[in-house]
Homo-oligomer: A and B are copies of this chain.
Amino acid sequence: MSEIEKQPGGVLFQRLALIGIGHIGSSLARAIKRQGNLVGHLAITDLDEAARARATELGLADSVHGETADAVVDADCVILCTPIGTYRAISKAMAPHLKPDCIVSDVGSVKRAPIRDMGPNLPDTVHFVPGHPIAGTEHSGPESGFAELFDGRYWLLTPPPGTDPEAIARLRQLYEAIGAIVEEMEADYHDKVLAVTSHVPHLIAYTIVGTAVDLEQQLQNDVIRFSAGGFRDFTRIAGSNPVMWRDIFLNNREAVLEILQRFTEDLTALQRAIRWGEGQTLQDLFTRTQAIRRGVVEARQEVPPSPDKRG
């Protein structure tokens, strides 16, 4: 990593603006505050008045703004922490107020679409470095965040070709300072990996919980009452923010549909094996999947974020 020139006062950024103060935004604010001298002034903004009031009560920032323009003015770093569907409007609204050399990033779970939606709206004088922390719980809102969320977690950056290396390095330093492991990758590849690790699993979880919603009432009551193991985990996943997830699926359509197609073929094969009593087919798959589990455990990604807010 290249040596970063510190700003006056020894901080990384004189003014950092967070747009959106939900689960990730408020965790990021807390993590930055925890580290002390990273940022001279932390400004936040949120469309939702209740969220702004809550953020003020919780003392999450140095200033809380109702207008995006007021938060980003004079900022040398702006990070979008809102659902992906808002990016186009936000980038248009803030563009005239961004100062030269400002670093603009985001935390969205899809990376190709933000580059498509925001890139053309941003002035050439700013540095656009899309990002995505592989962290989060199913909880929403400013009170659900915590400073330790990113500890030991990957934070992926997907800068378009030609992005200023100094801007990437500065953002990397911020995220490393709050405990994350930063990696760079190409946006399309990111979206494919996340379709497998996150987007399709969420869609499947939503679907099976939705299937349960349609059961007759008595059966549904007992499904809730006796939910354990599998279904309980699925309800946790399916308890996530609906708008955020809607936007993820709408914006990672191709990769999600491709993995979904493969999944459906594989499920059909298993369905057939169950129908015809082909035990060996089932046992073979169930044995092969154990190797993946071991890989995940060895990659130390099995540890839930701390403090454990997961149900």
A274 near B250 with CB under 8 A, answer: yes
Known contacts A196-B231, A249-B274, A301-B227: does B209 contact A259 (CB below 8 Å)? Answer: no
A1 interfacial by beta-carbon distance below 8 Å: no
A211 to B287, CA, bound (A): 14
A239 interfacial by beta-carbon distance below 8 Å: yes
**In the assembled complex, which residues on chain B have CB atoms less than 8 Å from the CB atom of A209?**
289, 292-293
A226 near B193 with CB under 8 A, answer: yes
A2 interfacial by beta-carbon distance below 8 Å: no
Q: Mark A114-152, 1 if CB is under 8 A from B, else 0.
A: 000000000000000000001110100000000000000
B259 near A299 with CB under 8 A, answer: no
Number of residues on chain A facing chain B (CB within 8 A): 95
A295 to B219, CA, bound (A): 13
**In the assembled complex, which residues on chain B have CB atoms less than 8 Å from the CB atom of A215?**
196
Known contacts A209-B289, A250-B277: does B219 contact A202 (CB below 8 Å)? Answer: no
Interface residues in A223-277 by Cβ distance below 8 A to B read: 223-240, 242-243, 245-247, 249-250, 253, 256-257, 259-260, 262-264, 266-267, 270-271, 274-275, 277
Which one of A5-13, A21-29, A39-47, A278-286 is at the B interface? A278-286
A72 interfacial by beta-carbon distance below 8 Å: no
A260 near B250 with CB under 8 A, answer: no
A302 interfacial by beta-carbon distance below 8 Å: yes
A207 near B239 with CB under 8 A, answer: no
A212 interfacial by beta-carbon distance below 8 Å: yes
Q: Which of A219, A233, A311 has the most CB of B within 10 A?
A: A233
A70 to B250, CA, bound (A): 62
Known contacts A222-B193, A286-B245, A301-B232: does B296 contact A274 (CB below 8 Å)? Answer: no
| 24 pairs, A vs B, C-beta closer than 8 Å | A134-B226, A193-B219, A194-B226, A196-B211, A196-B215, A197-B223, A197-B227, A197-B230, A197-B232, A198-B231, A200-B208, A201-B233, A203-B274, A207-B267, A211-B263, A212-B292, A213-B291, A224-B295, A232-B301, A236-B302, A238-B289, A238-B293, A253-B277, A256-B274
A271 to B258, CA, bound (A): 10
Instruction: With both chains docked as a complex, state the minimum distance between the C-beta of A247 and any C-beta of chain B, in angstroms.
Output: 8
B243 near A283 with CB under 8 A, answer: yes
**In the assembled complex, which residues on chain B have CB atoms less than 8 Å from the CB atom of A245?**
282, 286
**In the assembled complex, which residues on chain B have CB atoms less than 8 Å from the CB atom of A290?**
238-239, 242
